[in-house]
Chains A and B, each alone.
Chain A
Amino acid sequence: MTGTSPRAQVAIANLERICAEELQGQYELEIIDVLEHPQRAEDEKILATPTLIKQLPPPLRRVIGDLSDKAKVLLGLEVRPQSATSPTPRAT
């Protein structure tokens, strides 16, 4: 994300809510400010902010945007909604 923009704050809040609801706190999250670490963005070839990268478990997935659309975030992360029993992300 870029700095402490409102959109970045919204995205973090959204993500933390989704993670709490769907992953029961079983996650690690690293937040990178591309204004401070542009080389990280360069290495990952990131264009849009905010971008959420799911590194583990594979496959690598990316979700861009402020994560306000929960269904899409889950789709992008390949996480089955909580209504199902599996608490961990499922690889397809």
Chain B
Amino acid sequence: MTSRNAEPLSVEKLRTGISSLDIIAKGGLPKNRTTLISGTAGSGKTVFGIHFLAAGIQLGEPGVFVTFEESVTDVKKNMHSFGWDLAKWEKEGMIAFVDASPDPHIDTVEAGGFDLGALVARVQNAVKKVKATRVTVDSLGAVFSQFSDQSMVRGELFRIASALKGMGVTAVLTAERTDDHGPVARFGVEEFIADNVMILRNALEDETRRRTIEILKFRGCDHQKGEYPFTIIPHGGVIVIPLSAMQLSMKSSDVRISSGNKELDEMCGGGFFRDSVTLLSGATGTGKTLTVAQFLQGGALAGEKCLLLAFEESRDQLVRNAQGWGFDFDAMEKKGTLKVVCDYPDVQGLEDWLVTIQSIINEFKPQRVALDSLSALENVGTVKAFREFVIGLTSFIKHQEITGMFTSTTGSLMGGDSITESHISTLTDSIILLRYVEMFGDMKRGLTVLKMRGSWHDKAIREFTIDKGGMQMGRPFRNVTGILSGSPVHVSPADIERVWRQFDHDVGDRRTPDIAAAPKDPVAAKAKRPKS
């Protein structure tokens, strides 16, 4: 819709109704023009073509489907699983079919020059019959296989394209290509027939299939560039995951909410921001799931709806463990303040997970979402797909003004980081580290707020213990250094004194770990503190 109010000379766009596509196409497909959808076998061209029509029908815009490949009966059958009842729409006069699929029972001999005038007449007839504004032709390549005179077909395809323009319809033409990164289409002519070219890819990377969509050219109008992951799901059709658009439209909130632990709230300068995403990082057993449970409990107490996506433990295990910390998940679920979704991460690809999670969130409308853990999802797809998943989920959560908490498991027991963190740390607003600290033969647990965007936070590493009441925050590890690097060293109080004397103006502040006494203004507080 971007160009609707612009000068009349510019290319108008047709909102397709596939909302995610409209975002990357910056408003939709160029109106009254032809768009080529090229892709390898199985890349989703036909589904795309039908979805384009189905979305139009749902907006009250009738369409025509011209098939050169599958028979109309097959198309109707195949598309039923997407929730598109083509037969019903046909009866209602919302869709018309032009069946140009090859009929094996008819022998045809070519004797002299011919054209595809009959086809054009049929398409015109169908468009007139249902007053169509959208046409899908599937697929151009299949026209070549029906006739031996290839040069004639080339010429006729141009004729069809210009005839479609003459009918005032917005058309999607599909075409095959042999290679995901080769020529645009098989016969080398398809891309010149259409005004616009979009490419669907279904590349095999590390044994997983990754679908992407790319707008290669839109004549005379703007679009987003590059490949965007997409997925095809039952009862949804084509869903593009537009990463950049989601990032741009994020709001920001200065409302603080409780983490469920008073001391942790204080360490974060009063709690998490309403639309922030917190990453919890720690080795196995450091208390990540506990922190998550606490976060959900805090939400439930505040009367907020919470969603827990658990990929590591079964529901029973989770409920039992939470019981051990004094949280009754069953009761919270019965009250409707909590929803626990447990599943194996491997049941579907990351793109599908993103769509699934988004639909769960849209349905349940939680104020808090916790995901335990991201590391479990990391191995489902490629590194790139994982990053896109995290970007997609993070921006979706923020967009809905939901507070998010993701956990990430570090590989090594002491210190260290994981791939998960290096990929997503810049995407999250806060990072809380949970670490084991070995002291005089004992394993202690430490917690620190590493980063908190837009807020003052405690820089100390605090000891905590876990008991029947959950997490009990203790004193900072004052006389130990090297916790984060995984090799804690005990330091004598005299050494600490000497170091802090160098920042004499700050010594007083630093040595009183009382958070309540911290200055109210976070900016002033930051300025006063030494860079550590």
Establish whether residues B109 and A76, one from each chain, have CB atoms under 8 Å apart when the complex forms.
yes
Establish whether residues A38 and B122, one from each chain, have CB atoms under 8 Å apart when the complex forms.
yes
Establish whether residues A48 and B147, one from each chain, have CB atoms under 8 Å apart when the complex forms.
yes
Cα distance A67–B109 in the bound complex, in angstroms: 10
Establish whether residues B114 and A49, one from each chain, have CB atoms under 8 Å apart when the complex forms.
yes
Establish whether residues A2 and B114, one from each chain, have CB atoms under 8 Å apart when the complex forms.
no
Establish whether residues A67 and B112, one from each chain, have CB atoms under 8 Å apart when the complex forms.
yes
A54 → chain B closest CB, angstroms: 10
Establish whether residues B106 and A47, one from each chain, have CB atoms under 8 Å apart when the complex forms.
no
Chain A residues 71-87 with CB under 8 Å of chain B are 72-73, 75-76
B358 within 8 A of A: no
A7 nearest CB neighbor, chain B only: B113
Cα distance A39–B118 in the bound complex, in angstroms: 10
Establish whether residues A45 and B100, one from each chain, have CB atoms under 8 Å apart when the complex forms.
yes
Given known pairs A45-B103, A49-B116, A49-B117, the reply for A68 and B111 (CB within 8 Å) is: yes
Cα distance A41–B116 in the bound complex, in angstroms: 11
Establish whether residues B118 and A14, one from each chain, have CB atoms under 8 Å apart when the complex forms.
no
B302 within 8 A of A: no
Instruction: Please give, as numbers and ranges, the residues of chain A lying within 8 Å of B119 by CB-CB distance.
Output: 46-48
Instruction: Please give, as numbers and ranges, the residues of chain A lying within 8 Å of B107 by CB-CB distance.
Output: 59, 61-62, 76
Cα distance A59–B352 in the bound complex, in angstroms: 51
B481 within 8 A of A: no
0/1 per residue, A25-65, Cβ < 8 Å to B? Answer: 00000000011001101100111111100000001111111
Instruction: Please give, as numbers and ranges, the residues of chain B lying within 8 Å of A5 by CB-CB distance.
Output: 117
0/1 per residue, B290-306, Cβ < 8 Å to A? Answer: 00000000000000000
Query: What 4 pairs between A and B have smallest CB-CB spacing?
Result: A76-B109, A38-B125, A2-B117, A65-B112
**16 contacting pairs across A/B (C-beta < 8 A):** A2-B115, A2-B118, A7-B113, A10-B112, A34-B118, A35-B117, A41-B118, A45-B106, A47-B100, A47-B116, A48-B147, A65-B111, A66-B111, A67-B111, A68-B113, A76-B107
Report which B residues bind A (CB closer than 8 A): 98-100, 103, 106-119, 121-122, 124-126, 146-147
Q: Beyond the given A34-B121, A45-B100, A65-B111, could you list 4 further A-B residue pairs with CB under 8 A, ordered by the A residue number? A: A41-B122, A61-B107, A64-B109, A75-B109
